[in-house]
Each structure stands twice: as C-alpha cells, then as structure tokens.
Amino acid sequence: MRLTNKDYVSILKYYNKPIPKSQTMLKKQAESIMNLKLCKCIKKIDPVNEAKSIGICTKTIFNNKGFTRGEFKCDKNKSIIKLSKSNKSNKSNKSNKSNKSNKSNKSRKRMS
C-alpha cells in the first residue's frame, strides 16, 4: 500500500518539522527524515554487524508505526528510502497466534 499525504504529514509532525505545501517536497522531506533516522540507528547499534542492526532499527523506526521500508542506501551524498504501509490485519493475526501459543504453554506447565 502506498502512503498518503496524511501519512507523510504525520511523520513530519511526529518529528516537529515544518510541513511544506508542495506534495513532492512533503514526500521528499518525510522520506529523508526516515532515512536519516535509519542510517544513524544502524551506525549507532552495531556498525560491524549491519544485518542485525538493520533488523532492529527497521522494527523500531518503521514497523512499530505501521510502515514498511523498501530498499535504502546510507551514503553521504545520497540517501534514498521507499516507504509503504503495512497491513494492519497481519498484526492482529500475529497477536492472536502468540496469545494462543502462550495459553497452551501455560496449560502444559500446570499439568507437569
């Protein structure tokens, strides 16, 4: 799912940035902020093991807010990231599955 202008505005409001009137500028600024956050987070956590850092940072920056990220690059000159919305139905299914497994584990422990 593609992000709407409301989504880009909410990103800019979250980080207390001014909201431009142009839609293209709105998109560019929101994506550049998210890319900066991701790149800083990756370098801060573990610059040696980038795969681990990318997973942790993606979860905290994007997935918890209901977004998913596409390809990205952390270069000094260019920073590009593609954003999209994640399906909310997947979140509810995952939480239901984890609750069911926790309940079954608890009942197994009581029987022992």
pLDDT of residue 25: 92
Return all residues near 39 (Cβ < 8 A) that are at least 6 apart.
72, 74, 79
pLDDT digits (tens, 9 = 90+) for 21-79: 999 899 889 888 888 888 888 888 887 888 888 889 888 888 888 888 888 777 765 55
pLDDT of residue 4: 85
Domain ranges of the chain: 5-86
Is the whole-model pTM more than 0.75?
A: no
